[in-house]
Amino acid sequence: MRIDSIELYLVENRFYRPWRTAYGSDEGNCVLITRMRSGDHEGWSETSALSGPNYSYEYGEGMFIVARRFLAPALIGRSFESARELNAAMAHVKGTPFAKAGIEIAWWTLSADIAGVPLGKLLGGTASSVEVGDGWGIADSYDELIENIGKSFDAGYQRVKLKIAHGWDFDMLAAVRSVFPKQTIHVDCNASYSFKEDLALLRRLDRFHLAMIEQPFQTGDLYYHAKFQAMIETPVCLDETITAPWQAELAAELGSCRFVNIKPARVGGLQNTLDINRICAEAGIGCWIGGMLESDIGKAVCVEAAALPNMVYPHDITPASVSYPTCMTDVSLALNPDCTLDVSTRPGAPVRPDMEKMRKMITASARFWDDGMEWAI
């Protein structure tokens, strides 16, 4: 398949309310939207690393710059018959999995468009719908958080994910468990704790019978997560640490976790998503799909990935309308009454931008044609 053109759009959108976690507060998001064309066919993708380099060293504007300066120019006019070939052509650029995912996922949706099949079928998905959970960031009070959790369970969600941080952990969970003693709850630490300094506190979390403790220690760590998993009954889930298949292999060998939260953008795209999921399945490690506060363009791709085998836990894929007052897509994800999302039957990209809506949110763009020329706003 020949890549005839690539278009890159840097898009900003604001949340209903700030999203507060261990690494700070976000008022909105800055994402990379990519369109790739071959002949009369097109693919779309969205990648989000958040607005600043807090979750990762990558961020919105940084993704756009890497894709504009280094990735798109290296690919335009070339043909690739597999995602592995495409990824090999981007390997000269070190790291930057979010930026690479923008290109790679657009290639997958373009391939699905050419084949005339839904993306999920091309990936090998087996489910027709996927179960999703709800989640809450750091609130102003325990009462506010407990009220929000109650709304989630009343709405039919079967699990709730809570962000924790120093000063918003043990006592908060004690308050939550006093009201919701049996419900499925897990916590996400966003790499904010230290094995040496916080071990005693984290071991005490066993008493809350959590579904998992997600990424307690620093990004990239496998050693301390393995030591910690051996000390506690609660499963450890890795998120930020897993950005490539080799890390999943090492995590399995060391016993660093019992779950992996796969975010297609964080791991460099859908081929690595498939590889990491396969590695985890062979090691008996369950997977689930996480989101990065994308619009429904990115979330819909996550739904397709969530339909793969070995996806064993409700996913972080709530419709964008939960977070954003302004829609920029041609269709919107709709949550079913049983808190599931349907896997798309639409060939190619499952959700695409409405260009009239998105144009108001674009802060920068670049276009690459067959002759290698660039046009930017």
How does pLDDT run across 192-233, given as a tens digit for each residue?
999 999 999 999 999 999 999 999 999 999 999 999 999 999
Average pLDDT score over residue span 152-156? 97
Return the sign of the alpha-carbon dihedral for residues 334, 338, 339, 341: negative
Parallel, antiparallel or unpaired: strands 236-238 and 213-214: parallel
What are the pLDDT digits (tens) for 65-123?
999 999 999 999 999 999 999 999 999 999 999 999 999 999 999 999 999 999 999 99
Q: Taking 80 as the threshold, does the pLDDT of residue 375 lie above it?
A: no
| In the predicted structure, residue 362 carries a pLDDT above the cut 80 | yes
275 pLDDT band, cuts 50/70/90, is: very high
Which run of H or of E encompasses 225?
A: helix 223-231
CA distance 189 to 22: 7
Domains of the chain, by residue range, sit at 5-116+353-376, 121-342
- Please report which helix (H) or strand (E) contains residue 262, including its range: strand 259-262
165 — pLDDT class (breaks 50, 70, 90): very high
Per-residue confidence (pLDDT) for residue 372, from 0 to 100? 64
Q: Which active-site residues does the annotation give? A: 163, 263
What pLDDT score does 18 carry? 80
User: CA–CA separation, 258 vs 56, rounded Å?
Assistant: 23
- Assess if CATH 3.30.390.10 describes domain 5-116+353-376: yes
Residue pair 288/305 in contact (Cβ under 8 Å)? The answer is no
For the domain made up of 121-342, give the CATH fold: TIM Barrel (3.20.20)
Contact 238, 257 (CB under 8 A): yes
What's the number of CA atoms in the CB half-sphere (13 Å) around residue 244? 10
How large is the average pLDDT for residues 310-325?
94
- Would you say residue 243 has pLDDT above 90? yes
d(CA 173, CA 91): 43
β-partners of residue 135 are 161
Within a 10 A sphere around the Cβ of 171, how many other Cβ atoms? 10
d(CA 131, CA 310): 13
- What letter does residue 329 receive in the DSSP assignment? B
Instruction: Show Cβ contacts of residue 174 under 8 Å, excluding neighbours closer than 6 positions.
Output: 208
pLDDT value of residue 286: 98
pLDDT tens digits, residue range 4-28? 999 999 999 999 888 788 777 888 8
Q: Which secondary structure element, helix H or strand E, spans residue 130, and what is its range? A: strand 129-131
